[in-house]
Structure 1
Amino acid sequence: MAFTEAERLAMARALELAARGPRGRNPQVGAVILSPSGVVLAEGWHRGAGTAHAEVDALSHLPDGAAHGATAVVTLEPCNHTGLTGPCAEALLAAGITRVVYAVDDPGVASGGGAERLAASDVDVAPHLLRDEAAAFLEAWVTSFRLGRPHVTVKWAQSLDGRGAAADGTSQWITGPEARADVHRHRAAADAIIVGTGTALFDDPALTARIDGELAEHQPVPVVIGTRALPRRAKLHDHPHEPIVYGTRDLQSVLADLRDRGLHRVFVEGGPALASAFLEAGLADRLLAYVAPVLLGGDRLSVTDIGVGTIGDARRLRIDSVTTLGDDILFDARFRERRAWPDSSAAPAAHTAPEEGER
């Protein structure tokens, strides 16, 4: 599929606009309207349930007839259903749009099909411009939508010989300042950060996100899983958000509750038992392993039993990137059997149909 340079720039801009929308049950979507010559006519983004979708928001900034013959560039396939708002596909047709460029297919059973509706009305539909970038941006939303739980990133820091702590249990600091700063960037991008009670009691972490030494604008909600109570003087009680404590190891129910609270990006930080439990249960979508050039020896492994009894049962990973951070190395990986955004021809059914007001 051929795309113009103006369309590529417009899609990059649409992704920037999408990020302005609120996190939650609805996808963050951005749109740009281009004239036939490639000039930007209008921009828009989705501001939450019940508000105009990105395409309609962009069209609302134009006088009647100004979009006739124009191109709509949008990060997600225009929807084809009526909820609290009407179908975007119909709004684009009514405005006289003659070409639609989008990045990723809508995975919804009810909301999908916009591309087919547009093509049936002789609109030139061009899919998958900057698909990988848009899929990565919407990865958390589509995981929540399809699986009924938040997107889960499991992180650990380890020595070169695979240890998460020294023999006496101390683990601060295995990695250097550059790696720790990177962890804080990932914290700031998460909706919730999870630790077990062992980590909460032994390390007494603050679980805040700090950028250049200052509290980040967005702070993840601290979550503790385990049966032991937090001391009244624990640093977690000074967090900007009140900690959520679950006295259970039923990770499925924990994740379902977090999703119901509108928390769709979960960052699991520790310790080894909790990280291993997520891995064994098949609830990890992304892995961040920070490896430091130190040797610790001993039996305090960074990952323990994950239910692999033989090499044939090994959990195979796809390494998305390898990054040097000071003296340390970050491996960013996902499981080979799992795609961030499935091909439309092989997409499993969504966990639930969109609720009223959702896309």
Structure 2
Amino acid sequence: MALALSLGRRGQGNTWPNPAVGCVLVREGRIVGRGWTQPGGRPHAEPMALRQAGPLARGATAYVSLEPCSHYGQTPPCAKALIEAGVARVVAPFADLDPRVEGRGFAMLREAGIEVATGLMTGEAARDLEGFFLNRAQGRPRITLKLALSLDGKIATATGESQWITGPEARREVHAMRMRHDAVMVGAGTARIDDPSLTVRGLGAKRQPVRVVVSRRIDLPLLGTLARSAREVPVWICHGRDADGKLVSAWKELGATLIPCALQGRQLDILSVMQGLGSHGLTRVFCEGGGALAATLLGADLVDELIVMSAGVLLGAEGRPGLGAMGIDKLSEAPRLTLAEERRIGPDMMTRWTRPTA
């Protein structure tokens, strides 16, 4: 099962709106087939492993990181494929939360006389598939927030210079993180000031993440990097329903996808933004700022994981803070996170934080 989970992680960032699943076929103590969900969400992991195993799949045990699907979509059900291949036993952590499945895959297997076992490595599997489950249960993607900060918590100098606070090793790690997500998201200020490409570079990515910009008024440069490349790599803009219709049309003509969202006061309702992204199929979103968007996500308790890249540089009180205003008057009101990992990356330090466990 550990191998099946590791194979599933190979698909992260490439399989949305489908989950990234891994499958291992074992017969007489020997691995005879391995597979994982392919880019675009199909073929699924089980057919890939069955294809590799061939006739050796008969009588084998299939270790799958999620319940095999039971419904007909663009491909036949994976449960049916396992039955037809003659698999003797299926082991999976838990049932699929997708309402089209929800135990029906297990039922199909049992009705065919195949033994089904569950409950193995459920914690690890739940973490890997959290984005897919959040999409199905809450209609939103899993959010990873990344901040690159000086030691005193700044993201840029007073003049806005921010390239580069962290070193090349940390920046390469960030590209690897982008590659494991469906989309990279920034606020309008970051898009205007940094003119970023938001692509994965230097790692041979098979599928570039969607570039998402959160901008109520769509006040973004029409001659910027995102605009010029919108037909090559997807650009989605989450905007207010009161945005200028001419700007909406202009970005559509450039090839961007426009997602109208509700307002909360004078700002975009961040939950409406997340549900808009979820309705378009995203399961894992990597947010790279800026400070205002980061503060909004944290304040709304929508950050599932926080990555902080800390560099050994000090920018002083005049530097730009890593987080915008959050309206916190008491320590008891401040979001608190649990340290999950820390490691050195070149001259910098990475810390990973998650929600406290109950």
> How many angstroms does 1:61 deviate by?
7.1
Give the counterpart letter for 2:335 in structure 1.
R
Q: Which runs of 5+ in 2 are unaligned?
A: 241-267
Asked if the contact 1:32–1:58 (Cα under 8 Å) also holds between the matched residues in 2, the reply is yes
- In 1: Cα distance, 2:339 partner to 2:7 partner: 28
- Corresponding residue of 2:275: 256
Asked if the contact 1:71–1:98 (Cα under 8 Å) also holds between the matched residues in 2, the reply is yes
Superimposed CA distance per residue, residues 66-104 of structure 1 (whole angstroms, 9 cap, x where no aligned partner) = 65543121111234x544477655765676544322244
> How many angstroms does 1:294 deviate by?
1.8
Structure 1 residues 246 and 45, CA, compared in 2 at 3 Å: closer, same or farther? Answer: closer
- Corresponding residue of 1:25: 17
Asked if the contact 2:33–2:50 (Cα under 8 Å) also holds between the matched residues in 1, the reply is yes
1:330 aligns with 2:350: yes
- Corresponding residue of 2:210: 221
Q: Which one of 286, 304, 312 corresponds to residue 332 of structure 2? A: 312
| Structure 1 residues 257-336: aligned runs within 5 Å | 257-298=276-317, 300-336=320-356
Q: Which one of 92, 97, 115 corresponds to residue 102 of structure 1? A: 92
- In 2: Cα distance, 1:246 partner to 1:325 partner: 33
Give the counterpart letter for 2:170 in structure 1.
A
Asked if the contact 2:187–2:289 (Cα under 8 Å) also holds between the matched residues in 1, the reply is yes
Asked if the contact 2:13–2:182 (Cα under 8 Å) also holds between the matched residues in 1, the reply is no
Superimposed CA distance per residue, residues 142-195 of structure 1 (whole angstroms, 9 cap, x where no aligned partner) = 222222112211111111122222233322222122112212222222322222
Q: Normalising by the residue count of structure 1, what TM-score does the alignment of the two structures yield?
A: 0.75
Structure 1 residues 8 and 266, CA, compared in 2 at 3 Å: closer, same or farther? Answer: closer
- In 1: Cα distance, 2:199 partner to 2:37 partner: 28
- Corresponding residue of 2:149: 158
Superimposed CA distance per residue, residues 267-287 of structure 1 (whole angstroms, 9 cap, x where no aligned partner) = 211210111111112222111
- In 2: Cα distance, 1:26 partner to 1:273 partner: 31
Q: When the two structures are aligned, how many residues end up with a matched partner? A: 325
SS at structure 1 position matched to 2:147: strand
Asked if the contact 1:323–1:329 (Cα under 8 Å) also holds between the matched residues in 2, the reply is yes
Structure 1 residues 116 and 322, CA, compared in 2 at 3 Å: closer, same or farther? Answer: farther
- Corresponding residue of 1:71: 61
Give the counterpart letter for 2:284 in structure 1.
R
- In 1: Cα distance, 2:281 partner to 2:91 partner: 30
Give the counterpart letter for 2:92 in structure 1.
Y
- Corresponding residue of 1:138: 129
Structure 1 residues 104 and 328, CA, compared in 2 at 3 Å: closer, same or farther? Answer: farther
Give the counterpart letter for 1:293 in structure 2.
G
Structure 1 residues 30 and 321, CA, compared in 2 at 3 Å: closer, same or farther? Answer: same
Asked if the contact 1:163–1:302 (Cα under 8 Å) also holds between the matched residues in 2, the reply is yes
- Corresponding residue of 2:8: 15
1:171 aligns with 2:162: yes
- In 2: Cα distance, 1:60 partner to 1:321 partner: 38
- In 1: Cα distance, 2:106 partner to 2:144 partner: 32
Asked if the contact 1:34–1:42 (Cα under 8 Å) also holds between the matched residues in 2, the reply is yes
Deviates more, 1:112-121 or 1:222-231: 112-121
Q: Percent identity?
A: 40
- In 1: Cα distance, 2:164 partner to 2:84 partner: 60
Structure 1 residues 68 and 316, CA, compared in 2 at 3 Å: closer, same or farther? Answer: same
SS at structure 2 position matched to 1:145: helix
Q: Which one of 112, 126, 130 corresponds to residue 102 of structure 2? A: 112
Deviates more, 1:132-141 or 1:296-305: 132-141
Asked if the contact 1:153–1:284 (Cα under 8 Å) also holds between the matched residues in 2, the reply is yes
Structure 1 residues 86 and 283, CA, compared in 2 at 3 Å: closer, same or farther? Answer: same
- In 2: Cα distance, 1:48 partner to 1:106 partner: 20
- In 1: Cα distance, 2:54 partner to 2:322 partner: 60
- In 1: Cα distance, 2:164 partner to 2:48 partner: 48
Deviates more, 1:329-338 or 1:287-296: 329-338
Structure 1 residues 190 and 277, CA, compared in 2 at 3 Å: closer, same or farther? Answer: same
Give the counterpart letter for 1:321 in structure 2.
E
Give the counterpart letter for 2:342 in structure 1.
V
- Corresponding residue of 1:247: 239
Provide the aligned C-alpha RMSD in A: 3.6
- Corresponding residue of 2:186: 195
- In 2: Cα distance, 1:48 partner to 1:210 partner: 18
> How many angstroms does 1:232 deviate by?
3.4
- In 1: Cα distance, 2:13 partner to 2:345 partner: 31
Asked if the contact 2:305–2:353 (Cα under 8 Å) also holds between the matched residues in 1, the reply is yes
- In 2: Cα distance, 1:295 partner to 1:21 partner: 34
Structure 1 residues 195 and 127, CA, compared in 2 at 3 Å: closer, same or farther? Answer: same
- In 1: Cα distance, 2:201 partner to 2:65 partner: 30
Asked if the contact 1:14–1:75 (Cα under 8 Å) also holds between the matched residues in 2, the reply is no
Asked if the contact 2:11–2:38 (Cα under 8 Å) also holds between the matched residues in 1, the reply is no
SS at structure 2 position matched to 1:304: coil
Give the counterpart letter for 1:32 in structure 2.
V
> How many angstroms does 1:337 deviate by?
5.0
Deviates more, 1:254-263 or 1:92-101: 92-101
- In 2: Cα distance, 1:316 partner to 1:32 partner: 38
Asked if the contact 1:207–1:222 (Cα under 8 Å) also holds between the matched residues in 2, the reply is yes
> How many angstroms does 1:220 deviate by?
2.2
SS at structure 1 position matched to 2:350: strand
- Corresponding residue of 2:176: 185
